[in-house]
Amino acid sequence: MQSFTMYAPTEIVFGGGAEEQLAAMVRKHGGSRVMLVYGGGSVVKSGLLPKLEELLSKEGIPSVAFGGVQPNPLLALAREGAVSAREFGADMIIGVGGGSAIDTAKAVAHGAANPEADIWQFWKAERPLTKSLPVGVVLTISAAGSETSSSAVITNQETGEKRGINTEFNRPRFALMNPELTFTLPKYQITCGIVDIIMHTLDRYFTQTGGNELTDEIAEALLRVVIRNGRKAASDPKDYGAMSELMWCGSVSHNGTTGLGRPMDFSVHQLGHELSGMFDIAHGASLSTMWGSWALYVCGENPERFARYADKVWGITGDTETAALAGIEKTVEYFRELDMPVCFSDSRIGVQPEAVAAELALRCSFHEKRLVGQFKKLDRNDLFSIYKLANR
Ligand code: NZQ
Ligand code: ZN
């Protein structure tokens, strides 16, 4: 096991009515004027946003709502939000929704606390982030894990770049997690979320670093729970048991626990981000599109690891090579069962000219300035080969 630091400071209130704790949590974590950042309107339609505004107002906490965040959230809106937050004098930013609203809340918090900087400088690592405003969360979808994670992902619409930053300033101070708030989700968003939760675990599980028994077994248990409850949730979004398992798995899959003691891989996320940056497809769909092709391409680097995954998660045993491949096939089949795309032609991207795969690889390698992943360090040619495998 490699040495590690674990820092997961988010206070979690989980269960029916968790959102009722908003004013108390704002006060407890030092807020007195808050901005509520939300998406395209699901929280207005469900009545959640007016309810939160009322809860705050009853406790004498002024608030302003800032909406319009779209999936694959845009830098331009985060910039606007930072200006509005400063004008309002907000001292805490609350993300109300999923990864897109929460990541925008994080970006707004960084921008509002650093008026001399442009937010994108932090994402491009051109300027270190040394201060921010505190962020809180009211979660409405189990997926990105942003409610407890150290990352935030934003798209620069001018360049088509979708980029994440990891910093402890991204860790929300609190997250209010009521599974009932996810009952209004369309099936497609539930299944995108299931894929994302699985992938936050797999992008840490596939590693060349051995000797991590607890981390491995937590990851394997989490995967089995998500797969089992994912099927139930996809067929009945009002199944409280299934939706609460997904919600908790979503946080644990991405708060660091499933990857302690080894380097993270995250190749599939990087491959997927380029697809979302170029074609604006949902994050979960970008991951299911790429995973099978990545897995087949890198499996030979450590088939024993893939065979272990097949055994512990899918109950497949046999000789190493056969079990490794069967585990990959079973995962891809599961994505298909959820109606998630597993190649370009399954989604609205469609089969692309080879030049597009080449451009995606170039962008993903940051114009050959980086290698991607750890399980196998992927250069531009490797990335090109993987995109070509998925382009069918
Ligand atoms: O915008 P509204 O109207 O709210 O609708 C949203 C949106 O259309 C809808 N939705 C959410 N809760 C709902 C609901 N509809 C009905 N009822 C509800 N209860 O779902 C759609 C998707 O929302 P979004 O926030 O985009 O989903 P998700 O949580 O999957 O977030 C995806 C974003 O997070 C990033 C992704 O790249 C993507 O940009 N990620 C962030 C991470 C992080 N910060 O740690 C890690 C992830 O790997 C990921 O990259
Ligand atoms: Zn993800």
Name the residue of 283, 288, 340 to mutate for ligand 1: max ligand atoms within 8 A of Cβ: 283
Which pTM value belongs to this model? Answer: 0.97
Determine how many CB atoms are found less than 10 A away from the CB of residue 17: 10
* Secondary structure of residue 274 in the 3-state scheme: helix
> Which ligand neighbours the alpha carbon of 290 most closely?
2
Nearest CA to ligand 1 atom 25: 98
Name the residue of 49, 146, 269 to mutate for ligand 1: max ligand atoms within 8 A of Cβ: 146
Nearest CA to ligand 1 atom 15: 185
The answer to whether the CB of 17 falls within 8 A of the CB of 178 is yes
- Which helix (H) or strand (E) segment holds residue 166: the answer is strand 161-166
Distance 48 CA to ligand 1 centre (A): 16
**Closest atom of ligand 1 relative to the 269 alpha carbon:** 48
Give the whole-angstrom CA distance, residue 206 versus residue 217. 13
| pLDDT tens per residue, range 136-148 | 999 999 999 999 9
**Closest atom of ligand 1 relative to the 103 alpha carbon:** 44
Residue 344 CA, chain-centre distance (Å), reads 21
The answer to whether the CB of 79 falls within 8 A of the CB of 104 is no
Helices (H), the chain: 22-28, 42-45, 48-58, 75-88, 99-113, 119-123, 187-205, 213-235, 240-254, 267-279, 283-298, 303-314, 320-337, 354-364, 380-390
**Closest atom of ligand 1 relative to the 183 alpha carbon:** 19
**Closest atom of ligand 1 relative to the 150 alpha carbon:** 45
Distance 35 CA to ligand 2 centre (A): 25
The answer to whether the CB of 252 falls within 8 A of the CB of 201 is no
Give the whole-angstrom CA distance, residue 205 versus residue 240. 28
Ligand 2 (ion): residues with CB under 5 Å are 196
Name the residue of 49, 51, 103 to mutate for ligand 1: max ligand atoms within 8 A of Cβ: 103
Nearest CA to ligand 1 atom 31: 99
The answer to whether the CB of 13 falls within 8 A of the CB of 177 is yes
Q: What angle do CA 388, 389, 392 make, to 5 degrees?
A: 85
pLDDT of the chain along its 392 residues, tens only?
899 999 999 999 999 999 999 999 999 999 999 999 999 999 999 999 999 999 999 999 999 999 999 999 999 999 999 999 999 999 999 999 999 999 999 999 999 999 999 999 999 999 999 999 999 999 999 999 999 999 999 999 999 898 999 999 999 999 999 999 999 999 999 999 999 999 999 999 999 999 999 999 999 999 999 999 999 999 999 999 999 999 999 999 999 999 999 999 999 999 999 999 999 999 999 999 999 999 999 999 999 999 999 999 999 999 999 999 999 999 999 999 999 999 999 998 999 999 999 999 999 999 999 999 999 999 999 999 999 999 99
Helix axes 303-314 and 320-337, enclosed angle (nearest 10) = 50
Pocket of ligand 1 (CB under 6 A): 39-43, 71-73, 97-101, 103, 140-141, 143-146, 149, 151-153, 181-182, 184-185, 189, 192-193, 196, 254, 269, 283
